[in-house]
Structure 1
């Protein structure tokens, strides 16, 4: 392993130990969760191809912190077909009370820091 990386890891270890000594286990765990942020993202569209539909389900979770999650359905601008309802397992009446795709997309991008 290269020396620069070893020194960086040692500084990180020392910093986390210092947090633990000053703030206890709770502060240490909060810092450890913040060290890594890798999002697992799943999107579902309102049609069988992205060209014909729009994203109506936005889901993302931090691989290292399951409490850091975004999960929201959006109301499509065009109603789902019966086939899309069957495949997705959600109906137009269930999506009728959701926020618009544009609003959900803005919040999703903020969550994902895009």
Structure 2
């Protein structure tokens, strides 16, 4: 092995050890989710404008950890129009089995807070 690679591995080892000593054990055990979290968030509403509709799809994923994901559809308080069903690709029948939006929103906020 060349000297540069050996020195690089030694610096990495020393850095991880310092992280552990400085109280980073919890972060280390949390894995990627604990070390770096950048969420991509997508929300879908039941109407074409936020003023007329409500959020019915909550989605977020950590771009550094695909296992750190939230994806839930919610039942709207009013039925979707035929146009909204066509645009969203989901039907009122499919959403009828989902939880109410306020419950999904509570869980979504908990997910965002980590």
TM-score (normalised: structure 1): 0.75
Residue 53 to residue 32, structure 1, CA distance change in 2 (3 Å): closer
Residue 81 to residue 59, structure 1, CA distance change in 2 (3 Å): same
> Aligned residue for 2:75?
75
Unaligned runs of 5+ in 1: 1-11, 21-27
Q: Following the alignment from structure 1 to structure 2, what is the Cα–Cα distance between the partners of residues 13 and 58?
A: 40
Contact 1:57-1:73 at 8 Å conserved across structures = yes
Aligned length: 97
Larger of the two Rg values belongs to structure: 2
Aligned-residue Cα RMSD (Å) equals: 2.7
Q: CA deviation at 1:35?
A: 0.8
> Aligned residue for 1:96?
96
TM-score (normalised: structure 2): 0.75
